Amino acid sequence: MLKPKKLANNNFLSSLDITIEEIFHILDLAENFKNQDFNIELKNKVLGLIFDKSSTRTRVSFQVAMSRLGGTTIDLNPTTSQIGRGEPIKDTARVLSKYCDVIAIRTFNHSDLEEYAKWSTKPIINALTDLEHPCQALADFLTIKEEFHNLKNIVLAFIGDGNNVANSLILCGALLGVEVRIACPKGYEPNPFVINKAKEINNNKNALIITNDPNSAVSGANVLYTDVWSSMGEENQKKEKDKDFEGFTIDTKLVAKADKDAIILHCLPAYRSKEITDEVIECKKSRVFEQAENRMHVQQALLSCLLS
């Protein structure tokens, strides 16, 4: 199996950091890991985790992925390290580069992630910022590929806030040629830079649709996707957002307007009865927990590409 050239020993800060060939390579490698058809040993390799935001799936999936590769993980809690006391990023990055072989970072400002990458001599992985969540997008498209066997003629409808998950779905979808529809209330559209970049990548005017109408977005769609309306750090906007997002819940009525074989995705955690109903997340169309499992497999593939 050929190794991607662009990604090797580089950073993964954005979906834009990899080519379409590399995406398919990672998805294929992840499937092989999942089916136990392939094995890579990364003994003596160390993954460092820096999480300024709380995490369940991302933290555990990275730890298990590294363990399955034979490596070890150091979890650096900012509250119990010098990071939380204001040590400059450039100092932290240079020191951790001496200890770790790769560092996955979950933080608020994307610019902080870029600062780590500037000073680190080892690969930096975006484990979520306010701008993007590229590891999540890889797991999402692996889940879709598993369900439909390929990504041709797939229509993905994302209902909710134009947040970091939506941004990565847009960029990754543009690279893969997947039609992405984003339905959000007025004023909650995805990042303009992301929208423009996606249009540069795929200039098909129908490849990306931004709308304020959930019903039109899900019409005939193969994948219905949602996320929490208030991301971490937006707790003070929760009441306002709950009101603004009325009518943007994925319920059985909305699901009925999608393709008959459509699947349901949610990156979790879910606030049932808000962005998605309990009935939908537990229905036969739901692939939410398969999607969560796939985080581990794509991150195992990603770590392999960065370190092997």
Domain definitions of the chain by residue range: 15-132+295-307, 136-291
Place of tokens 């490849």: 207
| pLDDT in the model for residue 4 | 56
Q: In terms of pTM, does the model score above 0.75?
A: yes
The one-letter code for the residue type at 164 is N
- Burial of residue 116 (CB within 10 Å: 0-12, 13-18, 19+) is buried
Q: Which of 63, 136, 299, 300 is catalytic?
A: 136
Domains 15-132+295-307 and 136-291 share a fold: yes
Q: Which of 130, 267, 287, 305 is catalytic?
A: 267
220: alpha, beta or left? (left if phi > 0; alpha if psi -120 to 50): left
| pLDDT in the model for residue 41 | 87
Cα separation, 88 vs 91, in Å, equals: 5
| pLDDT in the model for residue 2 | 46
Place of tokens 């806030």: 161
Show the CA angle centred on residue 224, arms to residues 163 and 246, nearest 5°: 60
267 flagged as catalytic: yes
CA-based nearest residue to 306, from 19, 95, 14, 26? 26
Q: Which of 57, 133, 181, 266 is catalytic?
A: 133
**What is the C-alpha R_g of the chain?**
19
pLDDT lower than 70: segments of the chain: 1-5, 8-9, 80
| Topology, domain 15-132+295-307 | Rossmann fold (3.40.50)
The SS3 call for residue 158 is strand
Q: Which of 106, 110, 181, 266 is catalytic?
A: 106
266 flagged as catalytic: no
Q: Which of 287, 295, 299, 305 is catalytic?
A: 295
**HSE-CB of 254 using CA atoms within 13 angstroms:** 27
Which residues, in sequence order, are CB contacts of 75 under 8 Å at separation 6+?
49, 51, 59, 63
300 flagged as catalytic: no
251 flagged as catalytic: no
Phi, psi of 41 (to 5 degrees): -105, 120
Cα separation, 259 vs 255, in Å, equals: 8
Q: Which of 110, 227, 291, 300 is catalytic?
A: 227
Indicate the CATH number for domain 136-291: 3.40.50.1370
